[in-house]
């Protein structure tokens, strides 16, 4: 008998032996060992929840400054996806295996990776509980959980996406993105419909990018005369920045793409190839449209674990931050970056890049007991791929004013911008941003501005 165990446990063990002579003394010890693992308590200076674009960038910056084992990254996934590539995969220009790396290779070595999900935030006690039973106590918290895809919110959609040989597809998930190109290849005629949901989404330009790529695909193969391309968006305009919206309106007219605004997908009847839309200007009025191919951008929300912590979030479920400092409005030791934040910028990887130096410097100021002084201006970028060799590079801020990097009119379709999107940006992402070195093109913009001024 193990005399180091408390007497009460020794009595329990003797009772088990009396009841079952086959019992092994090690049973209680094994049970206790598992219990200790499941209720393990960890501590760190900074806890980063989420290993996506913003989370990895912040973990790299913070661990480089603070040193080893000061930063914990809480992330359950084994793969990290470069999601801006999904549109190109849908058009057959890239492969899915080119879009991801192992999470262990992307996260900084000086940070500790806890491969579990966050299941509960307790900002009043500076702790986060995990799916593995751990309680992680932090001094400072960075929430970088992104958004969750909610395909199930549209009746019939999940069944349609998961039916073999279905002609319903979506570029937004690695589970479904390969099917987009398969749908394109077997579509020869009829309505090809693309949707934009009635909610905030990540990469708001992607739903129309895949529409333009599809248009070009059908033209290259000589099928376009028999295909009617329809873009149904819940928004009242094609794009939120007028400078680029004007250019895109000319593009859809030139390519004979049907644009329906304020039209939201509410149901998919894939057995009959029918999509049901509601006219948002006339609530309760619905339209049934038949399709040969349907590309769906799913509704998206903040992750449930974030939205359920009412102390942390706005009524819409996003982390309640000051849109300039990215610091929480109530908890001064909490920051958020990327899609999980309530800041009203367009949710893109470029926005996370521009936010990262602001969050980093303001968090370091908070660690030193100082007030945050760095300000995020809402910069975001959306390379709107318009085909297999052209792209409009939209850049703008909170005021929806163009903030263009290059000394050319970026509202025009250009091959140079397409090449940058397809070939250069993935390299920049993996080699610089994931290592904490890329803060967006602000410095490059200043250089071009100086050159332009000197020429004058």
- Indicate the DSSP class of residue 188: -
Measured distance CA(417)–CA(392) in Å, rounded: 7
Residues 6+ away with beta carbon under 8 Å from 93: 388, 422
- In angstroms, the Cα distances linking 407 to 318, 350, 415, 444, 448 are 36, 19, 15, 11, 7
Measured distance CA(50)–CA(265) in Å, rounded: 30
Instruction: Report which secondary-structure segment, H or E, holds 168.
Output: strand 168-169
Q: CB–CB of 403/378 below 8 Å?
A: no
Scanning the structure block, which residue is given the tokens 């400092």?
Answer: 325
Measured distance CA(278)–CA(420) in Å, rounded: 38
Measured distance CA(12)–CA(199) in Å, rounded: 57
Q: CB–CB of 112/17 below 8 Å?
A: no
Strands 286-290 and 274-279: antiparallel
- In angstroms, the Cα distances linking 420 to 93, 211, 352, 424, 434 are 14, 20, 19, 5, 18
Q: CB–CB of 64/58 below 8 Å?
A: no
One DSSP character per residue, 210-259 reads: HHHHHHHHHHHTT-GGGEEEEEEESSSSS-SSHHHHHHHHHHHHHTT-EE
- In angstroms, the Cα distances linking 36 to 31, 39, 74 are 9, 5, 20
Neighbours of 157 (CB within 10 A): 23
In the three-class reduction of DSSP (H, G, I as helix; E, B as strand; rest coil), residue 288 is classed as strand
208: Cα separation from own chain's centroid = 18
Measured distance CA(137)–CA(90) in Å, rounded: 42
Measured distance CA(448)–CA(45) in Å, rounded: 39
**Among all residues, which ones are annotated catalytic?**
203, 382
């Amino acid at each position: 008998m193990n005399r180091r165990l408390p007497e009460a446990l020794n009595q329990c063990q003797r009772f088990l032996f009396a009841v079952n002579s086959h019992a092994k003394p090690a049973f209680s010890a094994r049970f206790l060992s598992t219990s200790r693992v499941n209720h393990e308590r960890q501590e760190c200076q900074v806890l980063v929840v989420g290993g996506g674009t913003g989370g990895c960038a912040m973990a790299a910056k913070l661990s480089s400054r603070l040193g080893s084992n000061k930063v914990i990254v809480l992330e359950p996934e084994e793969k990290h996806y470069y999601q801006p590539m999904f549109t190109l995969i849908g058009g057959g220009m890239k492969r899915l295996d080119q879009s991801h790396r192992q999470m262990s290779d992307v996260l900084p070595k000086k940070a500790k990776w806890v491969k579990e999900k966050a299941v509960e935030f307790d900002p009043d006690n500076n702790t986060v509980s995990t799916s593995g039973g751990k309680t992680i106590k932090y001094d400072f918290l960075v929430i970088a959980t992104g958004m969750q895809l909610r395909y199930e919110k549209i009746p019939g959609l999940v069944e349609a996406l998961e039916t073999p040989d279905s002609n319903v597809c979506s570029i937004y998930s690695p589970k479904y993105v390969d099917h987009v190109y398969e749908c394109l290849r077997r579509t020869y005629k009829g309505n090809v419909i693309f949707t934009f949901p009635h909610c905030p989404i990540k990469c708001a330009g992607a739903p129309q990018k895949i529409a333009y790529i599809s248009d070009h695909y059908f033209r290259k193969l000589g099928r376009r005369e028999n295909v009617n391309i329809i873009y149904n968006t819940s928004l009242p305009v094609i794009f939120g920045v007028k400078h680029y919206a004007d250019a895109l309106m000319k593009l859809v007219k030139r390519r004979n793409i049907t644009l329906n605004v304020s039209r939201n997908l509410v149901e998919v009847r894939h057995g009959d190839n029918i999509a049901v839309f509601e006219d948002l200007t006339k609530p309760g009025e619905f339209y049934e449209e038949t399709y040969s191919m349907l590309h769906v951008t799913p509704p998206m929300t903040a992750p449930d674990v974030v939205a359920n912590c009412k102390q942390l979030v706005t009524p819409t479920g996003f982390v309640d931050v000051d849109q300039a400092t990215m610091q929480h409005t109530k908890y001064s030791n909490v920051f958020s970056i990327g899609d999980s934040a309530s800041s009203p910028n367009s949710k893109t990887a470029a926005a996370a890049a521009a936010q990262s130096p602001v969050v980093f410097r303001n968090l370091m100021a908070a660690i030193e007991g100082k007030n945050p002084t760095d300000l995020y201006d809402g910069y975001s970028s959306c390379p709107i791929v318009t085909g297999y060799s052209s792209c409009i590079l939209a850049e703008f801020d909170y005021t929806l004013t163009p903030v263009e990097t290059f000394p050319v009119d970026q509202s025009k379709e250009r091959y140079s911008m397409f090449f940058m999107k397809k070939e250069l940006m993935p390299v920049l992402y993996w080699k610089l941003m994931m290592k904490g070195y890329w803060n967006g093109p602000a410095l490059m913009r200043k250089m071009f501005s100086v050159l332009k001024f000197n020429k004058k």
